[in-house]
Chains A and B, each alone.
Chain A
């Protein structure tokens, strides 16, 4: 299958996000219970879903890296985690705003959904110090992959555990006793989800392209200077050169 160019993907993403937000404010009805505040749902929930799926995608790339030893998969795993952590920041901030508007508090510690997401986020925040604490490039990639697989397995387990906890505080919007979302809300949510997913994919592609270009520039500089390749783990060798082919 032919890979879409970054420009085409960017246009698709802009249309989806622009259209999605237009639907949020001009098409989807206000929630009977929460009213206008519920509009945050169309941003907060897709961001959370995409961030968590991104962590699982990183785990899949990490498995492929451990199986093949190909640094391309390590780079993809790293960039997937990096982008998902950024999305995680957005989830926490938009969630806190929603909590303040709905519950009158920025954070509720006895709410499993919030706390579990925070735990996942903090878990992945330790990925960076773990990765860069190891100097040897191959060991760094291997250990980072092991971490990504372990933490990635934790994500669905965490999701199941939260569902099992059956909190009465956090709204279960998709499946309620009243029948869940009405069709207009569903359509709006799906467009927003597609837009946010496209955004995640584009940011990953951007990051990988930037890293690949930087690595190629370093190789070119070494070739022109006649200097030997850098020692593993040195500056500019965080991701193996040439290991950043876009997924």
Chain B
């Protein structure tokens, strides 16, 4: 279909005038491509930052979980030692 359309279309006069017209449209496309490239770089940076933050959040979560486990372990230890309050907290 594209070939048929091109066959019907008038030939583009790619002489001196055509070169200038092509240059103008190429400049426009190049500017667009540069802009898309900049936006892609921004997107990549955002994606990288998001990964870092996800890792940070996971690290915090794991830290909180191990803290909880440690606290639970000390409570059990305290109960076994006859301290129902647990962990020996507040003993000064």
Chain A residues within 8 Å of B, Cβ to Cβ: 21, 25-26, 35-37, 39-40, 43-44, 47, 86, 89-90, 93-94, 97-98, 100-101, 199, 203, 206, 210, 213-214, 217, 220-221, 224-225
Q: What does the 1/0 interface line of B3-34 toward A look like (CB < 8 Å)? A: 00100011011001110110111011001100
Pairwise interchain contact A37-B21, C-beta atoms closer than 8 A: yes
Q: In the complex, are the beta carbons of B46 and A25 less than 8 A apart?
A: no
Minimum CB–CB distance from B61 to chain A (whole Å) comes to: 11
Report chain B residues within 8 Å CB of A217.
46, 49-50, 53
In whole angstroms, what is the CA distance A98 to B23 when docked? Answer: 10
- The answer to whether residues A21 and B25 also contact, given A26-B9, A101-B20 and a CB cut-off of 8 A, is yes
| Chain B neighbourhood of A86, CB < 8 A | 31, 35
B42 at the interface (CB under 8 A from A): yes
Q: How far is the CA of A203 from the CA of B10 in the complex (A)?
A: 34
Q: Is the CB of B17 within 8 A of A37?
A: yes
1/0 contact trace for B35-75 toward A, CB 8 Å?
10001001100100110010011001000000000000000
Is A214 a contact partner of B27 (Cβ separation < 8 A)?
Answer: no
Candidates A26, A40, A213; contact of B20 at CB < 8 Å: A40
Contact of A210 with B24 at beta-carbon distance under 8 Å, contacts A26-B10, A203-B35, A217-B50 already known: no
> Is there contact, CB below 8 Å, between A36 and B13?
yes
The one of A37, A98, A210, A224 in contact with B60, judged by C-beta atoms closer than 8 angstroms, is A224
Contact of A100 among B20, B32, B39 (CB under 8 A): B20
| B18 nearest CB neighbor, chain A only | A36
CA distance A24 to B18 in the complex (A): 13
